């Protein structure tokens, strides 16, 4: 982990079932650190001052010509502008199909549910003065989520392969607002149990 104390702007550790958000200027970096391993973070960003321009998983997969992204790949916006470049990734295994859990999904799967990552991220929208209804499922990057595709067409959720200290680092290619939810889905998705995640904002 190549970070000097001079690089660090801010750092926050967030518990499962809670959200985080922040502002990044062009050139600054965000590092999402899986502190204990096997923890999924649902992550979205919008252009600063214009929440109608959001990161788009569909356009990004088309641009990168793969759904498992690598260092140097980019994340495009809903207007096909480059929002992020992946500058480091110690465990490149993320789900890039979009979508986040929500209260209805929890009720459907388990018969009960208070709120999910969608509602958590919508609360972060509100903190920045954005209409929470502008949230888009296609904008969500599921960091560390493992989805296995079978040749016959089936797909399944598996436990994440990330270990303690693994991280994804992104460089902002425009002024951005990022928002995230540390997922609290109770089975498989987050390994044995949900655990905290750290968000480090690094200078350009």
Domain count, the chain: 1
Residue 1 lies in a domain: no
In a domain, 9, yes or no: no
For residue 13, being part of any structural domain is answered with no
| 41 found inside a domain | yes
* Cα–Cα dist 38/190, whole Å: 5
Q: What is the pLDDT along the chain (204 residues), one digit of tens a residue?
A: 555 566 999 999 999 999 999 999 999 999 999 999 999 999 999 999 999 999 999 999 999 999 999 999 999 999 999 999 999 999 999 999 999 999 998 899 888 888 999 999 999 999 999 999 999 999 999 999 999 999 999 999 999 999 999 999 999 999 999 999 999 987 799 999 999 999 999 998
Q: How far apart are CA 83 and CA 85, in angstroms?
A: 7
Q: Report if residue 128 sits inside a domain.
A: yes
Q: What is the pTM of this model?
A: 0.94
In the structure encoding, which two tokens stand for residue 200, read together? Answer: 């480090």
Encode pLDDT of 122-168 as tens digits: 999 999 999 999 999 999 999 999 999 999 999 999 999 999 999 99
Q: Distance between CA atoms of 184 and 24, rounded to whole angstroms?
A: 26
Domain encompassing residue 103: 22-202
Distant-in-sequence, close-in-space partners of 45: CB < 8 Å, separation ≥ 6: 54, 55, 75, 83, 84, 139, 176, 177, 178, 179
């Amino acid at each position: 982990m190549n970070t000097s104390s001079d690089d660090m702007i801010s750092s926050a550790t967030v518990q499962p079932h809670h959200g985080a958000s922040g502002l990044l200027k062009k050139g600054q970096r965000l590092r999402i650190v899986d502190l204990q391993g096997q923890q999924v973070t649902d992550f979205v960003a919008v252009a600063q001052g214009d929440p109608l321009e959001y990161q788009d998983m569909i356009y990004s997969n088309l641009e990168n010509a793969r759904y498992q992204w690598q260092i140097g790949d980019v994340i495009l916006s809903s207007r096909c502008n480059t929002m992020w470049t992946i500058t480091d990734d110690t465990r490149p295994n993320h789900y890039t199909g979009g979508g986040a859990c929500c209260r209805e999904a929890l009720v459907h799967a388990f018969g009960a549910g208070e709120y999910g990552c969608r509602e958590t991220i919508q609360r972060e929208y509100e903190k920045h003065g954005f209409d929470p209804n502008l949230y888009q499922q296609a904008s969500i990057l599921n960091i560390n989520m493992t989805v296995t595709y079978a040749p016959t067409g089936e797909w399944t959720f598996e436990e994440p392969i990330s270990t303690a200290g693994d991280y994804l680092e992104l460089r902002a290619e425009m002024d951005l607002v990022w928002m995230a939810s540390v997922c609290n889905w109770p089975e498989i998705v987050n390994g044995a149990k949900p655990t905290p995640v750290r968000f480090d904002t690094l200078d350009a």
